Amino acid sequence: MDERQLRILRELGELGSVTAVAEALLVTPSAISQQLRLLQRSIPVPLTERQGRRLVLTDAGQTLAGSAIEVESALERARRSVGEFLDRPDGEVSVAAFHSAAATFFPLLLRALAGPGTPVPRLADEDVPQEDFPRLTREYDLVLAHRLDHAAPWPDTVTATTLLREPLDVAMPAGHPLAAKRRVTPRDVAAEPWITVHDGFPVLATVEAIAAAAGRRLHLAHRINDFAVAAEAVAAGGGLALMPRWTTRPHPALVLKPLSGVQARRHIDALHRPERTARTAVRTVLKELQEAARTIQAG
């Protein structure tokens, strides 16, 4: 039993023939007859009977048709409620981000949404391997994820909006011999100890590309995912590290040098399930994230 079958029964009680119901609902008479047969199979007593050339409802059919009115009314109320939910400009919106994106985007987002009548952000940090970001869209409305420029695209199960295409630079102490160079090459940095991320995180692939371009293995001295912690380790002489150009806080003891000879750039994308942006509040937050990205790149 479903809404369509109940509506057909209700219309049959008013119009008195399958042909008239088919004309009213803009379908074929055979389609109406099929739905009536399916409905009858789910009810243990007859719903219709013949009176001459007319097909009329039995007492049980009339009772069920009366219930159809209540069902349609309840469904219409439900549709209105869903519509109001989707159109609300000030609903809660959950946003997850990996650490460096969270540190950069979240303050701008909170300031942009501080006024009345705006969405209410619910923020969380989620530092996961690249392949796990799409799964987070089950739990959050929007997920800020990163992947390398040349990596495979995100799966079709999620929609991705690119916020930034951010260069990865080589971080080194300000007094390092390479700090005087405008740019560095893989051969320049290959002999240095390195501070890099754990396996499965995007930046590691660029470190491996540096090794390949230099024709030698790099000494991976330390594994640190948090760029702020890695910056302190670089400043203390622990080695070189790849750092995002825009989404890490400047460190007074470090300099960042562009890298030649290797494609060193990451995407920061906002991932979401397609149905999430049916909500006005989610679309508003996504727009504010795009505005924040422009501010970050310009600043």
- Tell me the two tokens of residue 64: 């069920």
Q: Which CATH architecture has domain 92-298?
A: 3-Layer(aba) Sandwich (3.40)
Residue 297: the pLDDT is 94
> Are 140 and 96 contacting, i.e. CB atoms less than 8 angstroms apart?
yes
Confidence class of residue 40 from pLDDT cuts 50, 70 and 90? confident
Which of 77-86, 145-154, 246-255, 276-285 shows the lowest mean pLDDT across its residues?
Answer: 77-86
Q: Is the pLDDT of residue 84 over 80?
A: no
Greater confidence (5 vs 154) lies with 154
Q: What percent of the chain has pLDDT over 90?
A: 60
Q: What percent of the chain has pLDDT over 70?
A: 97
Instruction: Give the alpha-carbon dihedral of 235, 237, 238, 244, to 10 degrees.
Output: 40
**Mean pLDDT value of segment 104-116:** 95
Q: Average model confidence (pLDDT) for the chain?
A: 90
**Mean pLDDT value of segment 202-213:** 91
Closest CA to 247 of 293, 179, 285, 204: 293
Q: In this structure, which CATH number among 3.40.1190.20, 1.20.120.10, 3.30.1300.10, 1.10.10.10 belongs to the domain 3-87?
A: 1.10.10.10
Determine the 3-state secondary structure of 241 from DSSP: strand
Residue 16: the pLDDT is 81
Residue 160: the pLDDT is 97
- How far is it, in rounded angstroms, from Cα 46 to Cα 68? 17
- How far is it, in rounded angstroms, from Cα 172 to Cα 170? 7
> Are 183 and 259 contacting, i.e. CB atoms less than 8 angstroms apart?
yes
Q: Is the pLDDT of residue 71 over 80?
A: no
Domain ranges, ordered by start, for the chain: 3-87, 92-298
Residue type, 182: R
Confidence class of residue 72 from pLDDT cuts 50, 70 and 90? confident
- How far is it, in rounded angstroms, from Cα 77 to Cα 143? 32
> Are 192 and 177 contacting, i.e. CB atoms less than 8 angstroms apart?
no
- How far is it, in rounded angstroms, from Cα 148 to Cα 166? 9
Q: Is the pLDDT of residue 41 over 70?
A: yes
Element (H, E) at 161: strand 159-173
Greater confidence (43 vs 272) lies with 272
- How far is it, in rounded angstroms, from Cα 188 to Cα 192? 9
**Mean pLDDT value of segment 98-108:** 95
**Mean pLDDT value of segment 115-121:** 92
Listed in sequence order, the residues at least 6 apart from 198 whose beta carbon sits closer than 8 Å to its beta carbon are 204, 223, 225
**Mean pLDDT value of segment 141-168:** 93
Q: Which residues pair with 54 in a beta bridge?
A: 51
Confidence class of residue 281 from pLDDT cuts 50, 70 and 90? very high
Residue 78: the pLDDT is 67
Residue 177: the pLDDT is 95
Q: Which of 36-45, 87-96, 98-107, 149-158 has the highest mean pLDDT?
A: 98-107
Instruction: Give the alpha-carbon dihedral of 89, 90, 96, 102, to 10 degrees.
Output: 100
Residue type, 255: V
Which of 141-145, 149-153, 272-276 shows the lowest mean pLDDT across its residues?
Answer: 149-153
**Mean pLDDT value of segment 229-255:** 95
